Structures are given as C-alpha cells and as structure tokens.
Amino acid sequence: MVGEGGELRLDVSADMLRKQVTVMGSWTFFTIIQAECAPFMVDRKVDGDAVFSDRWLFEDAVEAYRRPDMQTTGKGVFVF
C-alpha cells in the first residue's frame, strides 16, 4: 500500500510474523529508500506505472499540487 488514505487490514500472526514482514510508515520518503526501490521493483518485476494514479505535465503543476490538498488523489508523477 502506497499513499495516504484507504485501509490496511491484516492478521498480525498470519500476515506478518509467520512471513517475517516489515511494515514502515512515514510522511516522507527518504532518498536512501528511494534508491533502494528501483532495484527492488526490477528484481520483483513490479509494474512501476501501476504505482501512480495521476500523471501531470509541468504546465499543469498548479492543478497537480491542488489535488492532494483536497485529498482526492493518490500518488502523482510529473512526466517530461
């Protein structure tokens, strides 16, 4: 689960402890963790395009930044 909003339901024993899963939460996404994400996604064949709910052009930046303030969007990315 990536992003603000939604729910995460799990059985701690079955979903975490028996699988030895680590769950992290943060309002920020440190550059060190960002650098670890790329090889993680490649190694596991994660569809990077599926991570983003919105794509924005630079000229639409005002709207792109307005949407999260309304809490009606997920993860967005600027495309060049």
Tens of pLDDT along 4-33? Answer: 666 778 888 888 788 877 777 666 677 888
Residue 63 domain-assigned (yes or no): yes
Number of domains composing the chain: 1
Residue 66 domain-assigned (yes or no): yes
pTM of this prediction? 0.46
Residue 16 domain-assigned (yes or no): yes
Domain of 32? 12-78
Residue 28 domain-assigned (yes or no): yes
Residue 7 domain-assigned (yes or no): no
* Spatial distance between the Cα atoms of 65 and 22, rounded to a whole number of angstroms: 31
Helical segments of the chain, H only: 31-43, 48-51, 61-70
Residue 71 domain-assigned (yes or no): yes
The pLDDT value recorded for residue 43 is: 94
